[in-house]
């Protein structure tokens, strides 16, 4: 009986490590994880939130097969070529934009930040603490084919906004770090 209980506990522990309920992703069968890619990372909308960009950049670089186009180079091309963030979502524009930057992939991201749920509020010495709930979405698009190679959603929750963002970003790249394996 003890042995069965031990095996059950081990199998539960193992399965929770393989799955991540705060990370959802879909990967194209054409995404070759053995290749190295140059990626231009841009927000899906014309917003500036350095903390999200910096966290995504750090996570992508830590995977090892991504090289980032410098942010200032992206902004220069946007200004010089009269691109708009909203216009880049069209396949023809993605290809043109990516080729100018010598990028293999355009990485587009968006995010939502929500403050608290009443059921998760904490009162400490009369101060009301509400959790931050952050959702980050990341889409990696091939410059050559226009195909979406990866689409992920990551969720993070913490009483610290920075920690919630960091957790959400780690979760959005979860599938890339696993090499596409579930």
Q: Would you list the domain boundaries of the chain?
A: 31-177
Q: Please tell me whether the overall predicted TM-score, pTM, comes out greater than 0.85 for this model.
A: no
Mean pLDDT computed over 162-172: 93
Question: pLDDT band at residue 47, thresholds of 50, 70 and 90?
Answer: low
Say what the pLDDT of residue 43 is.
82
Percent of the chain with pLDDT over 70: 71
Cα angle 28-33-39, degrees, rounded to a multiple of 5: 85
CB of 174 closer than 8 Å to CB of 155: no
d(CA 89, CA 107): 11
d(CA 8, CA 57): 39
Pure H helices in 33-90: 50-63, 71-80
The CATH class given to the 31-177 domain equals alpha beta
Q: Which of 40-49, 97-106, 126-135 has the lowest mean pLDDT?
A: 40-49
Could you tell me where the beta strands, DSSP code E, fall in the chain? Answer: 23-27, 37-43, 66-68, 105-115, 122-124, 127-129, 132-142, 148-158
N-to-C CA span, the chain: 32
């Amino acid at each position: 009986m003890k042995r069965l209980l031990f095996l059950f506990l081990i199998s539960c522990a193992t399965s929770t490590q393989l799955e991540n309920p705060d990370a959802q992703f879909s990967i194209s069968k054409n995404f070759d994880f053995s290749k190295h890619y140059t990626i231009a990372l841009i927000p899906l909308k014309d917003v500036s939130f350095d903390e999200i960009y910096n966290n995504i950049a750090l996570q992508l670089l830590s995977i090892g097969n991504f090289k980032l186009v410098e942010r200032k180079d992206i902004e220069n091309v946007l200004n010089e070529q009269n691109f708009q963030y909203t216009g880049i979502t069209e396949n023809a524009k993605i290809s043109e934009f990516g080729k100018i930057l010598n990028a293999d992939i355009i990485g587009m991201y968006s995010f939502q930040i929500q403050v608290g749920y009443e059921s998760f509020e904490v009162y400490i010495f009369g101060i009301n603490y509400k959790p931050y709930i952050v959702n980050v979405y990341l889409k990696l698009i091939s410059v050559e084919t226009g195909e979406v190679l990866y689409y992920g959603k990551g969720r993070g929750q913490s009483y610290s906004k920075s920690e919630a963002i960091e957790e959400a970003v780690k979760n959005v790249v979860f599938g890339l770090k696993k090499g596409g394996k579930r």
